[in-house]
Chains A and B, each alone.
Chain A
């Protein structure tokens, strides 16, 4: 089974304008992934499925990941006027790096199943940010298996897949308006009854108690 670099080389020879690069994976599983640019994703996916040697005709898993934005503090040398003399002063500049949502696909080959396999071929696609640039091309026309899974990613993360035949919520009810698997999702506290209080639930219950007595 080819490594991620070999597959990348093969894609580049077939589709030179495709924006593909290798995203390394530091864990012992050594399942490195290919980061696709959304513009050429469908072309690359079709190539991976139809190529005679790779023949990755079975997409086993499609899932989403939420990477929230990070606040980065950098030390930047800024030219400032200090006592009339222009000097380079080191300043701590805060910058918010926008987070992104990610769709990850795991591919296997059924046609060449008897080859020595090291692991799945992993594809990734990233959105622009988490608020308004959340559209990615759908890979359902290439592999039908991702149809329900892309609906689930849309439901739980909020990535809108362009080209999906039937994009609507799958696990939550249709009128629901939040995306539960995002990292900044706040649990509703109107459950039937509270279990023994811990952490957040305890804090909230104590706040309610002090509010009630005031």
Chain B
């Protein structure tokens, strides 16, 4: 019969149409922005800098090594090193970035900066509702805007943040063990010579 294929197709469409009133899985539209889809954990949008503790500057993990700046494909990161130093998470004095700008109108969210960072200092955020009317300044994020706490990182990427914390704790434990061994060796040496008083052992880290 001519028209049989069309009728069969219309039957499929009718099934979907009628079914969307009764079955949840046929209703695939999500009424954004009133409803939202559950966010997927691994999603990546734009980078942010991680700081430990409460103070944005004191706990900032970034040491301005500029590896992310070199590896960034569209060169959207701009770093100026500081002239003084501050202690990092193991207590060693490190330089920090005086300026750390990311132009998110250039950034393509490729996450190569995260991959190459040796200090776990830059990670990917999940916020995408960033539109603004200021086309140039509003899309240039500076260091204070980018610095977000470790708790924020745990909230958005729980599994990843847990792994990163485990790695950093391991590194810190190694450094502390080495410092302890060195201090004990120095104390033993000082005890061997009775004239000099043994130097006070400084416990590093909080």
Residues in A whose Cβ lies below 8 Å from that of B77: 196
B136 with A197: CB separation less than 8 A: no
A198 B136 Cβ-Cβ under 8 A: no
Kindly state whether residue A193 has any CB partner on chain B within 8 Å. Answer: yes
Report Cα–Cα, A195/B75, bound state, in Å: 8
The reply on B74 being an interface residue by CB < 8 A is yes
Total number of A residues with any Cβ neighbor in B under 8 Å: 5
Least Cβ–Cβ distance between A197 and chain B, in angstroms: 7
Question: A residues 120-161 with Cβ under 8 Å of B?
Answer: none
Q: Which residues of B contact A198 (CB under 8 A)?
A: 75, 78
A196 adjacent to B78 (CB under 8 Å): yes
B39 nearest CB across to chain A (Å):
29
Task: Write the chain A residue with the least CB distance to B101.
Answer: A196
Cβ of B101 to closest chain A Cβ, rounded Å: 6
Distance between Cα atoms of A195 and B136 in the complex (Å): 10
Cβ-neighbour of A193 out of B74, B76, B101, B136 (below 8 A): B136
What residues of B have a CB within 8 angstroms of the CB of A193 in the complex?
136
Residues of B within 8 A of A (CB): 74-78, 101, 103, 106, 136
A-B contact sample (14 more), CB < 8 A, given A195-B74, A195-B76: A193-B136, A195-B75, A195-B103, A195-B106, A196-B75, A196-B76, A196-B77, A196-B78, A196-B101, A196-B103, A196-B106, A197-B78, A198-B75, A198-B78
